Structure 1
Amino acid sequence: MFRRKLQALDYHNPAGFNCKDETEFRNFIVWLEDQKIRHYKIEERGNLRNIHSSEWPRHYDKYVQDVNAPFKAEERQETIDWLLGLAVRLEYGDNASKYQNAKPLGTENSKPSEPLINLDVSNPDFKAGVTALANLLQIQRHDDYLVMLKAIRILVQERLSPEAIAKSNSSKEGLPVTLDKHVLGFDTGDAVLNDAARILRLLHVEELRQLQTKINEAIVAVQAIIADPKTDHRLGKVGR
């Protein structure tokens, strides 16, 4: 099941790779990290390279978590497939110049197609990628991966677009506040304590405003999904 990805990565034995062989599996993980993924610095790879150590499974489990794999280390086949997909994407990124001017066969005169028209939602790489993004962005998981992908798109547009980031990073100068103009509603008998209470009340009001903003953003995101003509909100799921 891994043969095509192993071939794409120039693995020395793509046809005979046996992930159930513990020694071969451990050597494979070391090769994948050393040659393709390179998540750790060279000096940090010692624990993985020590494949004969009784502590190796624990270090492998940490490695799986460190690369943000959406599977547990004991889910060996799923994790290997995800790591291979990550390695292929990184390999393409490292060698992008090879493909910059390449055109798929038969596309010379074709018009740009819909970006997701050929998307295979049953592909394990697609599911793993969407799950990893959802975990990274702290988006609640959903049985329908397209719904999760749509929620990710909305969040990226609202929070991570260049315009949103620029707006977030723009400096905001605070307006001077005259505390004695804000009615406290009670008197502590101490002018300093009164001012402190006014400041706390102003901070609380600002927190409420921020909370309302987040609630509004959540409502917009939900409405965007419900407004999709493919969504049957009466059934609580997306129509296929």
Structure 2
Amino acid sequence: MFRRKLLALDYMNPDTFNVNDDKGFRDLIVWLEDQKIRHYKIEDRGEIKAIDSKDWPTAYKKYLGELNCPASPNERAAVVDWLLGLSVRFEYGDNAEKYKSETSDNVKNKHQAAPKVVNTNPLDALDFQSAEFRDGVNNLAKQLNITPHADHLVTLKAVSKLIRTRLSAEALQNPGEFVHQGKPYPIFEADLGFDTGDYVLNNAGKALRLMYIHDLRELQTRINECIVSVQNITANPKTDTKLGKVGR
């Protein structure tokens, strides 16, 4: 009964979705929030994305309440139908111009005329919320000496950043330009400038300050690169000496 809406939203498994399957139901809620509804900020989606947590039902009820869902949390079919309808409305609102010219006739003609495209990208078939995927990400992080985050997708971002910056072909060929050498900065021995009264909070403040300084330096580097690029254009005018005059 949900297939048409799931297809319209480009859900990955519209034909096999079963509202009575706990994992499938929770995965759909997370996917709709991540991809279509986006009620929470990314950093605030931890509770609703923790589908294996014993506290997930509480987060789920809270989520429906904040969305003003009229269906009871226990009525799964009604909840899914309402959330899909809300997602379709948001999808149309985000792409109104795209859908204005669509009618039932030309959509039907497109489906009849267009060849069926088989997606061969294996990444599209992955279940990013599955236990197997989470274990794979955490194992990869362990091999790279990265501390796993409670949200495995955050861990995946850290893994991706490390691979891009330290394990790229350019970095492997010239490691000295990408891997900092010398004695590590004693971050936790530095003076924070104020005291929170808590040792752990003080260390967290030192780490955050260092990350902030790192971001500022990266921003300054990009600004300098922009200035140099502009100067290369404006500070090297081409002069045609044949147009000049000597004397009166």
Higher helix share: 2
Normalising by structure 1, what TM-score?
0.42
Normalising by structure 2, what TM-score?
0.41
